[in-house]
Amino acid sequence: MTEQLNVQQMAERLRAADNVLILCHKNPDGDTVGCGSALYYALKALDKNAAVLCSDVIPSRYAFTNPRLFKGEFEPQTVVAVDVAGIQLFGENNGVPQYTRHIDFCIDHHAGNSGYADFTLLDGQAAAAAELLYEVVMAMKVPMTAHIANCLYTGLSTDTGCFRFSSTTAKTHLVAAKLIEAGAQVEELNTLLFDTKPRARMEAERIARNHLEYHLDGRCALIYLTRDEIEQSQVDPADLEELTSLPISIEGVKVGLTLRQQPGGSYRISVRTAKGVDACAIARRLGGGGHTRAAGCELLGNLDNTKSAILAEVEAELDAPQTPDGQEEA
C-alpha cells in the first residue's frame, strides 16, 4: 500500500535522491513528457544523475523538451513515475518492464491512481500533473528556468485543452501565470501545440470523420480508425489525441467516443463527456479510468465487439437514475 506524501515531503525526498530514473506512461502526451523533462532538469540543477524513460517514442512535437533519455548507462537507485495512474500504463517496450517492478515515487493527478508506488503525491483536483510538479520544483528550491517553465506549460496546457476543459481552475491559471513570469514562451508553444496541424493529422481526421456514427438517439457520437488507416495516414500518435475532442463537440452529444486500433489489434477507447456524465465511470467498468469528463480504456476484440461493449456501458451510464445533485444513485 502506498504512503501519501505532501509537496514538501516529496520535494525533500527528491532532493536526497540520486541516479534517478523518471518513467513516463506509454503513448506519451504533453503532460507526462513535460513533467518528465521538467523533473529531469530540476534534478540536473541539483547536480543529480537522472534520465527519462518511456515505452514509446516521444512525439516530435515535444522534442524541444529535450530530456536526457535513459540508455542503461547507470543503475537506477530511485525510480519516479510522473502522470501514470496504474502499472499497466507504463507499456512493454524499450526495456521498461524491468524498471516497473518497484516504483519509489509517483507524482500524479488521477484520482483513480492504483497506489503502486511506495510513496505517492496525488492531487485529483489538479488539472494536470504539471500543476502539481510546479509546486514540487519550487519546494525543491530549484530556480524556475525558462526551459523548465516551457516543459511545465506544455503539460498544463495540453492536459487542459489550452485551458478550455472543465478541470481548469483558478489555481491552474495562477500556475500558468507563474510559468509565464518565469519565461515560458506561450505564443510559440501555443502555436506548436494547438495551431499547427500536420497534413498527416488532417488526413487521419478526414478518415475518422467518414466513420462518424450516432448512437442512443444521438446522445453518443463515435469515430474510429483501424490500424491500417492509421498507418495509411502516417499520422504521429500524439496527433491522434486531438481527434478525441471531435465527437463530443457535436451539438446534442453527451458522450463522444474515439476508437483507435493498436498495433497488437486491441482498440484504445477515449471517452469524452458533457457536464453531468461521468466518463471515468464508463471507462472504469471496462478496466480503464481517468477523469470525470475525460477517460479511457483498452479492449481486445474486433471492431464490432468493441463498439458493442463500450456502447453498452455508455447506455448504462446515460440511463442511470440520477439524484437531485446530478450524481448516480448508489
pLDDT digits (tens, 9 = 90+) for 208-245: 999 999 999 999 999 999 999 999 999 987 788 889 99
In a domain, 235, yes or no: yes
- For residues 39 and 130, state if they share a domain: yes
- For residues 116 and 208, state if they share a domain: no
pLDDT of residue 64: 98
**Average pLDDT, stretch 17-34?**
96
* pLDDT class of 197 with cuts at 50, 70, 90: confident
- For residues 187 and 302, state if they share a domain: no
Three-state helix/strand/coil letters over the chain? CCEECCHHHHHHHHHHCCCEEEECCCCCCHHHHHHHHHHHHHHHHCCCCEEEECCCCCCHHHHHHCCCECCCCCCCCEEEEECCCCHHHCCCCCCHHHHCCCCCEEEECCCCCCCCCCEEEECCCCCCHHHHHHHHHHHCCCCCCHHHHHHHHHHHHHHCCCCCCCCCCHHHHHHHHHHHHCCCCHHHHHHHHHHCCCHHHHHHHHHHHHCCEEECCCCEEEEEECHHHHHHHCCCHHHHHHHHHCHHHCCCCCEEEEEEECCCCCEEEEEEECCCCCHHHHHHCCCCEECCCEEEEEECCCHHHHHHHHHHHHHHHHCCCECCCCCECC
In a domain, 123, yes or no: yes
In a domain, 38, yes or no: yes
Domain count, the chain: 2
In a domain, 324, yes or no: no
What CATH number did the domain enclosing 242 receive? Answer: 3.10.310.30
In a domain, 224, yes or no: yes
Residues 158-170: tens digit of each pLDDT:
999 999 988 999 9
In a domain, 17, yes or no: yes
- For residues 31 and 130, state if they share a domain: yes
Domain that holds residue 189: 3-161+176-194
